Chains A and B, each alone.
Chain A
Amino acid sequence: ETGVTQSPTHLIKTRGQQVTLRCSSQSGHNTVSWYQQALGQGPQFIFQYYREEENGRGNFPPRFSGLQFPNYSSELNVNALELDDSALYLCASRILAGGVETQYFGPGTRLLVL
């Protein structure tokens, strides 16, 4: 196990609602990335946080936002949910050791928007 946990494991929301997904990574992993994995697709990069600030974003609208906290936990918030937001959401914590980067993924949160 990588020590990266996510909650909840799955949830159901309706269109227009808001959702908060949570991720907890290991101590010292100060970079966290969030990915969206739609059914039958590979993960798509949403954004990355480093030392509590967003420092990179993929092709996702502003209603996808995040937070990172000093205790190495983070949140993904999605406002005004749409049906296409139904997906598996993955967080990944990143460490750099000896010039080699490794990303460790959590088990994911499966979101269904009705």
Chain B
Amino acid sequence: AQRVTQPEKLLSVFKGAPVELKCNYSYSGSPELFWYVQYSRQRLQLLLRHISRESIKGFTADLNKGETSFHLKKPFAQEEDSAMYYCALLRSGGYNKLIFGAGTRLAVHP
């Protein structure tokens, strides 16, 4: 079964602390994975994708096929990072659809 699991509903840290948002996936093919973010009162937007191997707003994510994980990391959290974060898997073949995890709320305290 194709599935994305985000084990933490809430992650609460202080400003300047490191952050790791966990994501595990189940997919039989070659996965294409994304992190989406939703700030308060804003729409869901793409944060980063694994194939780009980019760093956005200080966040990085590495695909670990052995552990079937795609954890999102940032060395020093900022208050403006507070938001809902969703890990998503692109299921392709015939038509493409995103399979989302349940999301993790990141709260960064001053």
Contact = CB atoms under 8 A, between A and B. Distances in A.
A39 to B, nearest CB: 11
Nearest to A46: B97
A100 to B, nearest CB: 7
Contacts, number: 59
B110 interface: no
A41 B86 CA distance: 10
B100 A43 contact: yes
Interface in A57-114: 58, 90, 92, 94, 100-108
Q: Is the interface on chain A under 10, 10 to 19, 20 to 34, or 35 or more residues?
A: 20 to 34
A33 B96 CA distance: 9
A108 B95 CA distance: 22
User: Chain A interface secondary structure, helix, strand, loop or mixed?
Assistant: strand
A56 B95 CA distance: 6
A105 B84 CA distance: 15
Q: Is the interface on chain B under 10, 10 to 19, 20 to 34, or 35 or more residues?
A: 20 to 34
Given A33-B97, A55-B95, A100-B51, A40 B44 contact: no
- Which of B4, B36, B43, B51 has its CB near the most chain A CB atoms (within 10 A)? B43
B98 A43 contact: yes
In the A-B complex, the 5 residue pairs with the smallest Cβ-Cβ separation, listed nearest first, are A56-B95, A42-B100, A45-B97, A105-B44, A107-B43
19 contacts: A40-B9, A42-B4, A43-B44, A43-B86, A43-B98, A45-B98, A45-B99, A55-B94, A56-B96, A58-B97, A90-B44, A92-B98, A100-B52, A101-B96, A102-B46, A103-B46, A105-B45, A107-B42, A107-B43
Interface of B: 4, 6, 9, 32, 36, 42-46, 49, 51-52, 86, 88, 90, 94-103
